[in-house]
């Protein structure tokens, strides 16, 4: 069964949505909820839902920022915005993020059920296409030599993607979709062949590259941590510090001073 996650800061609204929708009959398992974007993001990374329902305005991290991180880290996850603000700018940003639907509060039970069923059909169709794609790539690997980056087919596509990432990883808006567009394939296809040939996901590879660059800047320059965050593609210094600590086992300042125990050898 498909998993759905709800991010909504208004307790009454969140509980009403959680308790009044027949999730299972709509094809979903209600897998979690959060009242702010920061908490929601940490939970979503673990749960990996197929669908996220999120409010726009939430404390600590708003729904649009939360959705950008979800879109970057879990490109197959669908996003439905639920907002009480009939504002064109919010809708425009939601469209840019390729949100699946944008619903205005108050959302009726009937309208949300209809949105869930439409989204479920889209997810199932894409899952079917991905299964066919995986079968094709497996068949391709049995015909071609098993070299990491064969200069044909998916190997050449991944090499092009790696070159693009190496040139643009410092840009805050780089995403799987942007890289896929640059190499002229779908995001789903790139995600499948990238993981198969590189051995890590797009987000894992991008994060590793950004943190490696950040480590060099921390040890070799006097830039502040916030400046380094922007220099390696993170718009939110707090989020950068959180990612850095998760990757290295210490904060950027601890790494710079040599006080923290890192997960890797220091950059020379």
Query: How far are the Cα atoms of 48, 205, 233, 248, 259 from residue 266, in angstroms, in the given order?
Result: 32, 19, 21, 10, 12
Q: Is the dihedral of CA 54, 55, 56, 62 positive or negative?
A: negative
Answer yes or no: is pLDDT of 145 > 70.
no
Answer yes or no: is pLDDT of 87 > 80.
no
Q: What is the DSSP-derived secondary structure letter of residue 262?
A: P
In the chain, where are the structural domains located? 2-123, 144-199, 204-257
Answer yes or no: is pLDDT of 81 > 50.
yes
Does the structural domain 2-123 have CATH classification 1.20.1250.20?
Answer: no
> Do the Cβ atoms of 167 and 108 come closer than 8 Å?
no
Q: Residue 172's pLDDT band (boundaries 50, 70, 90)? A: confident
> Do the Cβ atoms of 120 and 28 come closer than 8 Å?
yes
Model confidence pTM above 0.85: no
Q: CA 176 to CA 72: how far, in whole Å? A: 6
Phi, psi torsion values for 219, nearest 5 degrees: -90, -25
Answer yes or no: is pLDDT of 40 > 80.
yes
Instruction: Quote the pLDDT of residue 232.
Output: 93
For domain 204-257, give its CATH number from 3.40.50.11600, 3.40.640.10, 1.10.10.60, 3.30.43.10: 1.10.10.60
Instruction: Of 40-54, 230-244, 252-266, give the range with the top mean pLDDT.
Output: 40-54
Strand ranges for 66-131 from DSSP E:
78-83, 101-104
- Please give the mean pLDDT across all residues of the chain: 84
Q: Residue 260's pLDDT band (boundaries 50, 70, 90)? A: low
Q: CA 53 to CA 222: how far, in whole Å? A: 42
């Amino acid at each position: 069964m498909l998993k759905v996650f709800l991010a909504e800061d208004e307790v009454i609204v969140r509980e009403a949505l959680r308790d009044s929708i027949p999730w299972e009959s709509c094809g979903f398992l209600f897998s979690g909820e959060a009242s702010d974007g920061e908490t929601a993001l940490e939970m979503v990374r673990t749960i990996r839902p197929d669908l996220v329902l999120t409010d726009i305005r939430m404390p600590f991290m708003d729904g649009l920022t939360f959705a950008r991180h979800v879109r970057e880290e879990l490109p197959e996850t669908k996003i439905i915005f639920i907002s009480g603000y009939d504002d064109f700018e919010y809708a425009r940003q939601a469209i840019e993020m390729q949100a699946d639907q944008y619903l205005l509060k108050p959302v009726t039970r009937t309208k949300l059920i209809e949105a869930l069923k439409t989204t479920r059909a889209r997810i199932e169709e894409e899952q079917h296409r991905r299964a066919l794609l995986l079968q094709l790539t497996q068949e391709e690997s049995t015909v071609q030599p098993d070299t990491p980056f064969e200069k044909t087919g998916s190997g050449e596509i991944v090499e092009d993607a790696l070159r693009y990432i190496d040139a643009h990883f410092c840009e805050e808006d780089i995403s799987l979709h942007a890289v896929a567009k640059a190499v002229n394939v779908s995001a789903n296809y790139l995600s499948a062949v990238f993981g198969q040939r590189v051995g890590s996901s797009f987000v894992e590879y991008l994060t590793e590259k950004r943190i490696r660059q950040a480590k060099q800047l921390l040890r070799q320059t006097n830039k502040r941590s916030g400046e380094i965050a922007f220099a390696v593609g993170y718009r939110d210094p707090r989020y950068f510090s959180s990612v850095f600590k998760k990757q290295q086992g210490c904060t950027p300042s601890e790494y710079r001073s040599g006080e923290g125990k890192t997960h890797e050898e220091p950059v020379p």
